[in-house]
Structure 1
């Protein structure tokens, strides 16, 4: 027989904890709220498990739930986990899989699609994967991040962002009452001192000598690398270029939105040197493929490592992506072309909304002049009076 009665439960108003026996308690809060809690113990570990609000759960029902909870614990069953399953609240692992499935169609980078989930599998799931997404707290997330925060700073930052995305999704789906306290988590982590690593680039003053060495031998990989240099495009954009995008008469290369990092169509004005390069690539056309730079496997593009190999064969340790930095440094340090023009050539998104509002056009003809000057500099070291030097 319990110590409490239904009448006493209704009458109690003094804040405190009132025992009914066998670990069942009525909790009365400072503001008068009442709830049920059962205390259970297994293998030396004590847990307090909520059974619901006293306004919705009667004394008789609370006793029944307390008995069920004690039985589950004795049988090695987690009653909280069982309750979550019944309520349909996913674990963090399950929620992450659902978020990945919903978002992956919008990600253009296949490597990113794979890494998004694999990074959580490696660094988050072992500790918090089986926890309810509704009950995951800042302390648990901080501990997950702390384990890799200084050892793998870039990975840790990505894991942090992905955990936050999953939790925000859970809030939007109604599985949680609120987001994680990210500001608290950040303050509880040690300061990362790792500097941003830039892609190693060839100095622009060395470009004529570099280009001469690059052209000393002709391979598809070297021609693709030259295209990267002359267009200031990303290596992936060059490797996947198709003949249907190239208009040699108009001297333009139109890259469709689905292949651009910013998700917007990008028109590249081709200098005379770039047009000649694409003309040379006609000799490498392969039947059944529209790729400008075909790989060794039929219908497959060049791999990114092919461009890297071209650099290593020349005894260089720079990266293909670094030539975009070379171009940007040259514009900034050796010309009077405005920064916005260089950013447009690199297809960068302009964060300043005021500038972006006025820059509605692609400034194609101005960029054509700039790219012609860049081609002259890379090939002969002379801008041919196209660009005003500082």
Structure 2
């Protein structure tokens, strides 16, 4: 027999928790609202499960529901998950796949699209993928993150962001009332001591000698790496370049918006050395592929590892992407060209008006002068680092 009576439940008004026995409690909030919960414990974990408002659920019905919940818990059934499933609320894994499907078309990089879902499949789904997206709490997320937080810090940070994206989506869909308490989760995780690693770059003082050695052989990988250096473009932009984008007569390379990190077209002015390079590449063109730097597999571009292998074969431990830093350091330390012009040459977003200005008209020509000076420096030409003050 419980401790409460129907009359006592009706009369109670003081905020607090009133026990009936066997884990059943009447809760009275600060504003007078009354509700039922049952406290259960399984495998060392304690949970409070709501049974409804006391206005609609009588004491007798609350006892019956509490008994049913205890029975379900005992045989391994999660009554909350079953209730949410009946209400049409997806599991976390189902929600994650929906979020992935909705967002994948907007991601320019197919590799990123694959990694986004595979990270969740590897580290989140085994931990709480079968749980309702409405019941995934800070404790569950923290436990999933801590397993790789120190061993794989970058992966863990990405996992944290992707889990949070799914939870925010669930809030927006009305599947849950609130998002994750990220500050609470972060405080409960051990401190990561590893600092972010920057792309290792070749010192610009060593670049002329490096270019000479690079040209001692001629392979598609070496040609592509030379293009990376002379254009200061990202290695991915070079590897995916197509002949339809390149106008050798006008000495320009128009990289389409969908391949640019900033999401807008970037016109690269080609120095005479860069034009000569693309003429050399053109002599290697075979078949009807539009790829400038095709890989060994038909219709596929060079892999990023091909460019890295060229570096390793030359006894260097820097990375291809680092040549953008080499270029930027050279501009800052060896020339008087404005920083904004260098940033525009790298397609960095300095400010919409600034970048737009450097993309058109005479400003494009100023970038052409900059890239010609850079190419001259790469060639080891005397005076290659003596550049006039741009106005």
2:353 is matched with 357
Conservation of the 8 A alpha-carbon contact between 1:221 and 1:306: yes
Task: Give how far 1:67 is off.
Answer: 4.2
Matches within 5 A, 1:244-323: 244-323=244-323
| 1:18–1:380 distance in 2 versus 1, CA, 3 Å | closer
C-alpha distance after superposition, 1:72-92 (max 9, x if no partner): 334432211111111222222
1:327 is matched with 327
| 1:200–1:4 distance in 2 versus 1, CA, 3 Å | closer
Q: Which moved more, 1:190-199 or 1:235-244?
A: 190-199
- TM-score when scaled to structure 1? 0.90
| 1:111–1:10 distance in 2 versus 1, CA, 3 Å | same
In structure 2, list runs of 5 or more residues that go unmatched. none
| Aligned-partner SS, 1:268 | strand
| Aligned-partner SS, 1:135 | coil
Task: Give how far 1:381 is off.
Answer: 4.0
2:96 is matched with 96
1:177 is matched with 177
Task: Give how far 1:103 is off.
Answer: 1.2
Q: Which moved more, 1:228-237 or 1:315-324?
A: 315-324
Aligned CA RMSD, in angstroms, stands at: 2.5
| Aligned-partner SS, 1:174 | coil
| Aligned-partner SS, 1:296 | coil
| 1:15–1:305 distance in 2 versus 1, CA, 3 Å | closer
| Aligned-partner SS, 1:195 | coil
Q: d(CA) in 2 for partners of 1:51 and 1:241?
A: 61
- TM-score when scaled to structure 2? 0.90
1:219 is matched with 219
Q: d(CA) in 1 for partners of 2:44 and 2:192?
A: 39
C-alpha distance after superposition, 1:52-85 (max 9, x if no partner): 1112334454344334324433443221111111
Matches within 5 A, 1:193-208: 193-208=193-208
| 1:225–1:117 distance in 2 versus 1, CA, 3 Å | same
Q: d(CA) in 2 for partners of 1:377 and 1:340?
A: 20
Q: d(CA) in 2 for partners of 1:217 and 1:36?
A: 78
Q: d(CA) in 1 for partners of 2:365 and 2:344?
A: 12
| Aligned-partner SS, 1:289 | coil
Conservation of the 8 A alpha-carbon contact between 1:23 and 1:39: yes
Matches within 5 A, 1:130-169: 130-169=130-169
Task: Give how far 1:306 is off.
Answer: 1.7
| 1:37–1:84 distance in 2 versus 1, CA, 3 Å | same
C-alpha distance after superposition, 1:237-288 (max 9, x if no partner): 1111111101111100001111112211110000000011111122111222
| 1:43–1:348 distance in 2 versus 1, CA, 3 Å | closer
Conservation of the 8 A alpha-carbon contact between 2:201 and 2:322: yes
2:83 is matched with 83
| Aligned-partner SS, 1:93 | helix
1:238 is matched with 238
Conservation of the 8 A alpha-carbon contact between 1:373 and 1:383: no
Q: d(CA) in 2 for partners of 1:359 and 1:44?
A: 59
Conservation of the 8 A alpha-carbon contact between 1:207 and 1:381: no
| Aligned-partner SS, 2:66 | helix
C-alpha distance after superposition, 1:322-346 (max 9, x if no partner): 1111111101111111111111111
1:191 is matched with 191
Matches within 5 A, 1:362-377: 362=359, 363-377=363-377
| Aligned-partner SS, 1:254 | strand
Conservation of the 8 A alpha-carbon contact between 2:374 and 2:384: no
| 1:42–1:147 distance in 2 versus 1, CA, 3 Å | closer
